[in-house]
Chains A and B, each alone.
Chain A
Amino acid sequence: MQLQLSPEMQAFREEMRTFFTTQVPKEIRDKGAARRHPTKQDFVTTQQILNAAGLAVPHWPVEYGGRDWTPLQRHIWREEMQLAHVPEPLAFNTSMIGPVLAQFGNQEQKDRFLAKTANLDIWWCQGFSEPDAGSDLAGLRTTAVQDGDEWVVNGQKTWTTMGQYADWIFCLARTDPTAEKKQRGISMLVFPMDTPGVTLRPIELLDGGFEVNEVFFEDVRVPSENLIGEVNKGWDQAKFLLGNERVGIARVGGTKGMLALAKELARETTYNGRPLLEDARYSSRIAEIENELVALELTALRVVANSADGKPHPASSVLKLKGSVLQQEVTELIVDIAGPLSVASFAEEGSDVPDWARVSAPEYLNYRKVSIYGGSNEVQRVIISGTILGL
């Protein structure tokens, strides 16, 4: 047993740290540190810088830009990126459709999409969830009917994150309504968001932002060559994609950064004539969260060390569950530090309330999402009790 990273891994960590903190523009990282959302251009700029250095899709197959790193290297890469407040490569491109195309796509599709997907020349969005198909994704009702060389798509998707920025959508649709098992009759189609018949309605979230959308399809005609994998086998791709979605979902680096910010804010905030950080209730709350975060990080490192052939370790459900709860606890802590100032969410010029306090309640409410997306925490409990505990 050994605590320290090997000299090679220490050097690797240093290399990542140096790259992220010197090559990604400071104004983009500062936004992240101040808990403000990156713009579309921030995402594109960052991912293209990373991609030029081979750091956007290290987990892809080597022939498409991957790096053949160990799980520990990928872990370090991700953690250092989060600690430096660098907007991560767009998950829809790099963790979702990219690996699916590399695994299931034909050569023509790979040649057509992968390089542009890695470089964010194409911005992808996800057409999975529907109003009646959330955790029960296989209950989806959007249909695709073959008509000559085309599929005709009708239906509705929802929770399509950043769909308003997207160039293309990857979409699950029912292609065999007669299949006995509902998982059997599903296929994956990809098409441009400006295809006639596609309309998008932004959904305002509790924080006042527009992060997710409804997407409607009315007789959307998609060429046959845009079907990924085999007809009616789309569920295999969906499962593959959702498995990847949970990798790195502990978000330890990001939560560490938020907790460090919380400490600073508690130091600057006065209560009963003393910094809030010296208040026993606050300092022990921070200590408890921080301690669980240490345990989570160590669990992530154990999982990383034991994950073979790229398959997610069953304990990755633990990472999702605890990781989401800790993210939420830190956002809650920051609202509480803001205290009376936290109500001023939409203050503009002329208010003395600092930015961090304005965004604290919106972010706290927005972060309710992290225990819902990527397989809700209740779904994770089903996985743990069923797969791990055999219940």
Chain B
Amino acid sequence: MDFTYDSEQNDLREAVAALLARAYGDSEVRRKVTKNDPGFDEKVWTQLAEMGLLGLPFAEEHGGMGAGPVEVAIVAEEIGRVLAPEPFIEAVVLAGGLVDAVGTDAQKGELLGAIAGGTSVPTFAHAEIGTRWTASASAVTATEAGGSWTLTGVKEPVPHGARADVLVVSAALPGGGTGLFVVDGEATGLSRTGYRNIDGTRSANVRFDGTPATQLGAGGDQTDAIERALAVARIAYAHESVGAMDTALRTTTEYLKTRKQFGVTLNKFQALNFRAADMYVSLELARSIALWASVVQLSDGDVVTAADRARLLTSRTGRHIGKDAIQLHGGIGVTAEYKVGHYTARLTTIDHLLGDGDFAADRLAAKVGSYPTVDPLGAPYA
């Protein structure tokens, strides 16, 4: 058992933190960037590519860095720390992760290389109105004719779906099951309407109308691969949440130390300090479980259950810290002009992207009777 970062990992964190601090150290910059499409800074995206971060989890033969889940976690946490709006998890971890897991060698060479180089910003078009966080698709259907596939139906909300140049799309297969397809952003029969999310990132309504598509990998039902990819993304989001919670708490304690009322700084009031202490407890528990989930992934353990555990706790703690960060600031916490509320907005969005706390709790609850105790260092996690 070893949960300590090695020196290379510490160096990576330092480098990423420095890059992102230059970009978004001033929270006003993020506010301006997210006001305009595509909701992130293409120049920062290029810088992330130049540092090798956009190919971090992919094999070197496909243009990546061949790094592991802990390195991905470090980047995600640093993104959360400054709320960098670049879609690292959406494009690299989730869409790229699916290509990496399912794609043919040719698809990996083409798509992953372009992601790593920063020239492609793909998305995973999966959510459908009327469903909640399933691993399958129903509203978009796939049809095969003469050896080629077309897709029909609507996906929404699709993360940065208007900006994405490549869409990895889940679709109901004619014979049952859910397949994965690649759709070019320029494809015929594809229409996209983008909009701004509460946290400043972007989503889109994406319509397929007999849109030509290519099977990702060998085809067939990919529900299990989707489930796993969603789990890996949930773990990455857990780290982004930890980074965001850390800054939300730090911002709050700084505020308590400087803001004066009744002639004294707010940290003279025990009622406020105690709430901050409880936020710290939540943060440390969240940090522990997020890191653990990444190490489970590294050990090739039960990543789906580990992700549910990380999701459940970062949902609960994210709400706790996000809400109290605003409350302890008072009115200024509700303004868009001050940064702390943006952290709560992002945590709220993350909480609903790939499953909320109740969703994860339900899945864990279905299994609690099947074992007496959990050993986080043993089976099925190790």
Contact = CB atoms under 8 A, between A and B. Distances in A.
Nearest to A2: B2
Contact of B369 (A257, A283, A298, A382): A283
A1 B298 contact: yes
A391 interface: yes
A227 interface: no
Interface in B272-292: 273-274, 276-278, 280-281, 284-286, 288-289, 291-292
Interface string B247-277: 0010001001100000000010010011011
B298 A295 contact: no
B14 interface: no
Contact of B382 (A3, A6, A381, A385): A3
B369 A381 contact: no
Contacts of A388: 280
A298 B374 contact: no
B70 A1 contact: yes
A389 B254 CA distance: 9
Most interface-central of B6, B281, B296, B313 (chain A CB within 10 A): B281
* Interface size range on A against B: 35 or more
A389 B240 CA distance: 21
A3 B1 contact: yes
A105 B2 CA distance: 37
B148 interface: no
B374 A294 contact: yes
A233 interface: no
A298 B274 contact: no
A296 interface: yes
Interface of B is mostly: helix
Given A259-B373, A301-B3, A318-B280, A287 B295 contact: no
B361 interface: yes
B284 A315 contact: yes
B220 interface: no
A290 B368 contact: yes
Nearest to A325: B281
A389 B253 contact: yes
B284 A318 contact: yes
Contacts of A382: 270, 273, 277
Nearest to A298: B288
B301 interface: yes
Given A298-B292, A388-B280, A284 B361 contact: yes
A357 interface: no
Nearest to A285: B365
B4 interface: yes
Interface in A1-36: 1-6, 9
B369 A267 contact: yes
B13 to A, nearest CB: 13
B377 A391 contact: no
Interface string B329-360: 00000000000000000000000000000100
B361 A305 contact: no
A277 interface: yes
B111 interface: no
A186 B73 CA distance: 51
Contact of B289 (A256, A298, A391): A298
Nearest to A281: B365
Contact of A385 (B1, B4, B276, B378): B276
Contact of A294 (B3, B270, B299, B376): B376
Contact of B280 (A260, A280, A293, A384): A384
A322 B295 contact: no
A5 B1 contact: yes
B265 to A, nearest CB: 9
Nearest to B378: A4
B382 A4 contact: yes
Interface string A361-391: 0000000000000000010111011101111
A286 interface: yes
Contacts of A1: 2-6, 70, 294-295, 298
Contacts of B70: 1
A303 B1 CA distance: 13
B308 to A, nearest CB: 9
Nearest to A386: B273
B219 to A, nearest CB: 34
Nearest to A260: B372
Interface in A147-175: none
A278 interface: yes
A302 interface: yes
A294 B295 CA distance: 14
Given A277-B368, A298-B376, A390-B257, A384 B285 contact: no
A268 B170 CA distance: 43
B79 interface: no
Contacts of B294: 1
A381 B277 contact: yes
Given A2-B299, A3-B299, A299 B365 contact: no
A389 B277 contact: yes
B273 A385 contact: yes
A353 interface: no
A287 B289 contact: no
Nearest to A383: B277
A389 B276 contact: yes
A291 interface: yes
B224 interface: no
A293 B289 CA distance: 10
A263 interface: yes
B202 interface: no
Given A6-B1, A290-B374, 19 more contacts: A1-B2, A1-B294, A3-B295, A3-B299, A263-B372, A267-B369, A283-B366, A284-B365, A288-B316, A290-B364, A295-B286, A295-B313, A298-B289, A298-B292, A302-B3, A305-B2, A315-B284, A381-B274, A391-B273
25 contacts: A1-B2, A1-B6, A1-B70, A2-B295, A3-B298, A3-B377, A4-B382, A5-B377, A260-B373, A283-B368, A284-B361, A287-B364, A290-B364, A291-B289, A291-B313, A294-B292, A294-B309, A296-B285, A299-B285, A381-B273, A381-B274, A384-B277, A385-B276, A388-B280, A389-B253
User: Nearest 5 A-B pairs (CB), nearest first?
Assistant: A385-B273, A283-B365, A298-B288, A384-B277, A381-B277
Interface of A: 1-6, 9, 72, 83, 256-257, 259-260, 263-264, 267, 277-278, 280, 283-284, 286-288, 290-299, 301-302, 305, 315, 318, 321-322, 378, 380-382, 384-386, 388-391
